[in-house]
Chains A and B, each alone.
Chain A
Amino acid sequence: MKSLEGILVVDFSQFLSGPSAALRLADLGARVIKIERPEGGDICRTLYVSNVVIDGESTVFHAINRNKESYAADLKSELDSESVRKLVARADVVMHNFRPGVMERLGFDYDSVRALNPDVIYGNITGYGNEGPWAERPGQDLLVQALSGLTWLSGNDGDGPVPMGLAIVDILTGAQLVHGILACLIRRGTTGKGGLVEVSMLESALDFQFEVLTNYFQDGNQEAQRTRHNSAHAYLGAPYGIYKTADGHLALAMGRIPQLGELLGCDELLNYPEPGTWFSERDEIKAILARHLSTKPTKDWLGLLEPADIWCAEVFDWKRLTHHEGYRLLGLEQTVRRGDGFDYRTTCCPIRMDGERPRSELGSPRVGEHTEALKREFNL
């Protein structure tokens, strides 16, 4: 039995943050029904990335919305709203990511839903919370990265702000919503009471930086200082970084600089016996390492470092990753099938439960694909 079997989730959310939370609940066994506009549905369906379209919709949509059903409803029509109210009354979890005020106007805010379903768990994602000067601003991943200080942590000093190259804030926000919803389901199991879970993209982006922000609060409010080159973490000393070799790249995590000097045959590194200098003179040390490591292929360096248990790794691209036996053994991919018979390949849940990876063959739904069946099943 999957952990969340029997849990019904009615999801009004679009794009990534909310739908990625619903995907995780689906992975873990919940039944997820997307409520979508009859015309076009979830806007993510047409959010094309790199112009790749499969079976008429964006690859991103297919990745996020597998293992879900779709119910098409115009929430501005009384007839459709009434059917959705009946569905919501049967749900364990209701969630959305509209801007503040929208669900109040549509009559599906927490108080309205609770009146229909007193022990419901209601999840809500905003960009910046419900109050304050940013409440109405668009909650979009890159913009929240930009406002949250996150863009000064990656890349090198002098690069300017470098955003993380995927929708990290959306994904983190969805994950926090999952935490809150599951915790409330546990509480409901003992008390019978529902609950309200609210997360915002900005708070989630801040939580992601909680370690370095704890530094910032204590170190006299110094801004993050990336190294001049080979930067991988603004708050860590040398050798922490990725280095070019004669034929690729090598990642080096923590390590004692003089020991690295001996193992790599790099005498210049022996001039830094004092651990304090590994941070204070990290630019110089990294420059020495970068020069030295560029002279031989990655395999040669790994051959010297790995036997000494130095924390290092080769840098893979997806091709090398996905062809590696270590990756294949994890069984992280699956083929899923849409209602029209179209198959596509995607990833699976990263969590293994009782020794098995939860899987489901169900692909992403067409807009309203399950409307009629759901009407019959729930008498809507």
Chain B
Amino acid sequence: MRRPLEGILVLEFAQYLAGPYAGLRLADLGARVIKIERPNGGDAGRKLATKHLFADGDSLVFHAINRNKESYAANLKDPHDLEKVRRLIGRADVMTHNFRPGVMEKIGLDYDAVRALNPRLVYGAVTGYGGTGPWVDKPGQDLLAQSMSGLTWLTGSEGDGPVPFGLAAADLLCGTHLAQGLLAALVRRGKTGRGGLVETSLIESLVDLQFEVLTTYLNDGGQLPVRAKHRNAHAYLGAPYGIYQTQDGWLAVAMGCLSTLGTLIGCDALIPFRDEHGDEFLMRNQVKTILARHFKTRPTQYWLGLLDVADYWCADVFNYGQLMNHAGYKVLGMDQVVRRPNGTSLRTLRCPIRIDGDRLYSEVAAPELGNANETLNASE
């Protein structure tokens, strides 16, 4: 199979997560991605570890996000190095960065400067909060962006205070949006021959993530979200939507008719609640309390047996160990091993997209700093 982006050359000046996640997706889809890194230490993400886990000198986080890429070490403050980088830009299709506003202008690699060098170039820039305004100097960091976006009032239950998403959600969505913009600009370039400028930010991505519930807020007179009192799963959805404790574990129940549910699980207390009266939302705290009491009396498998037969939307709740050992996970072929030439190897995930029926694997591990300098310098 010919991967869709074969022949596309991407220069990634971006560091940490958001920008490099966009680069990873483009690499997965067939682009050649070269990270442009400082000769001393490179991408600061190489040292940004979770649980202090490293492999071959670089953090696992760096490995996960930068597999299937090459690295070109260059000091952008050195005119000699900068000239070489300019020549690379002349040959590239895409470049990305996530420097704070103003930095690329100082170096002379801002969009207007490089457009003169390469009018076909698609230029992507990620910031924390946009290029102007009172937040320009705020650090573009995931938890801070989550906190400012209002997102933390949707998870957890009423009375919990703000509960953030326990992952770098802003970074990953922002990288996703950057990739979407870059790809759309490449589609256009195919027709017009012109490059373009693509910009997004952590805060814009998090507002977009909340677009459904924010649209409700913008049209319901500006009422702030109210989470359910117990085991909330979505501030705007009624009962039974949520995860319940059972005798031996947990059970997730999505939307469905309350009286049908009452009949299926033998919970007479539910039968009087009628969906057409809007009870499932207005009375959700009462209903959820009844359900929580009822589900606790039997094991998860028992409830799944009753509900599955009727195609009532429910699921077991897994941790990673339970998931990895399940045939439903194994059949996906979702994990892969990546390797460095020096023998270092580690297990990570593949691209989630299948093209023409094929899963997209690549054994190429994240690059050692400057691993492409020799080849690229020689190819000029």
Contacts and interface: CB of A to CB of B under 8 A. Distances in A.
Interface of A: 1, 3-7, 16, 24, 28-29, 47-52, 54, 59-60, 62-64, 128-129, 131-134, 137-138, 140-149, 151-155, 159-168, 171-172, 175-180, 182-187, 189-191, 195-200, 202-204, 206-219, 221, 223-224, 226, 231-236, 240-242, 244, 249, 251-254, 276, 279, 309, 311-321, 324-327, 329-330, 332-333, 344-347, 349-355
A217 B335 contact: yes
B155 A155 contact: yes
Nearest to B208: A350
B334 A329 contact: no
A29 B209 CA distance: 20
A215 B60 contact: yes
Contacts of B207: 327, 330, 332, 347, 350
B150 A316 contact: yes
Given A218-B55, A221-B321, A143 B254 contact: yes
Given A211-B64, A350-B177, A187 B147 contact: no
B198 A351 contact: yes
B219 A149 contact: no
B357 A253 contact: no
Interface of B: 2, 4-8, 17, 25, 29-30, 50-53, 55, 60-61, 63-65, 129-130, 132-135, 138-139, 141-150, 152-156, 160-169, 172-173, 176-181, 183-188, 190-192, 196-201, 203-205, 207-220, 222, 224-225, 227, 231-237, 241-243, 245, 250, 252-255, 278, 281-282, 311, 313-321, 323-324, 326-332, 334-335, 346-349, 351-357
A235 B50 contact: yes
B184 A52 contact: no
5 contacts: A3-B181, A7-B187, A163-B252, A165-B163, A318-B150
B148 A314 contact: yes
Given A59-B212, A166-B154, A186 B186 contact: yes
Given A186-B183, A355-B199, 11 more contacts: A132-B328, A133-B328, A160-B243, A185-B187, A186-B187, A202-B329, A216-B320, A350-B177, A351-B180, A351-B181, A352-B198
Contact of A165 (B172, B218, B227, B313): B227
Nearest to B235: A165
A179 B167 contact: no
B355 A313 contact: no
Given A165-B156, A191-B2, A332-B207, A211 B168 contact: yes
B216 A60 contact: yes
Contacts of A145: 252
Contacts of B141: 253-254, 311
Among A140, A151, A183, the most chain B Cβ lie within 10 Å of the Cβ of: A183
Contacts of B199: 351-352, 355
Contact of A183 (B30, B205, B208): B30
Given A131-B331, A196-B357, A218-B60, A163 B155 contact: yes
Interface of B is mostly: mixed
A350 B209 CA distance: 9
B214 to A, nearest CB: 6
Given A143-B313, A186-B5, A151 B138 contact: no
Contact of A166 (B139, B224, B234, B346): B234
Highest count of chain B CB atoms <10 Å: which of A214, A320, A330? A214
Contact of A179 (B168, B183, B210, B329): B183
Contacts of A180: 4, 29, 353-355
Given A50-B281, A166-B213, A217-B348, A146 B354 contact: no
A52 B324 CA distance: 40
Given A51-B281, A63-B212, A195 B236 contact: no
Contacts of A189: 187, 190-191
Contact of A212 (B50, B162, B205): B50
Contact of B254 (A138, A154, A233, A325): A138
Given A4-B184, A162-B155, A63 B130 contact: no
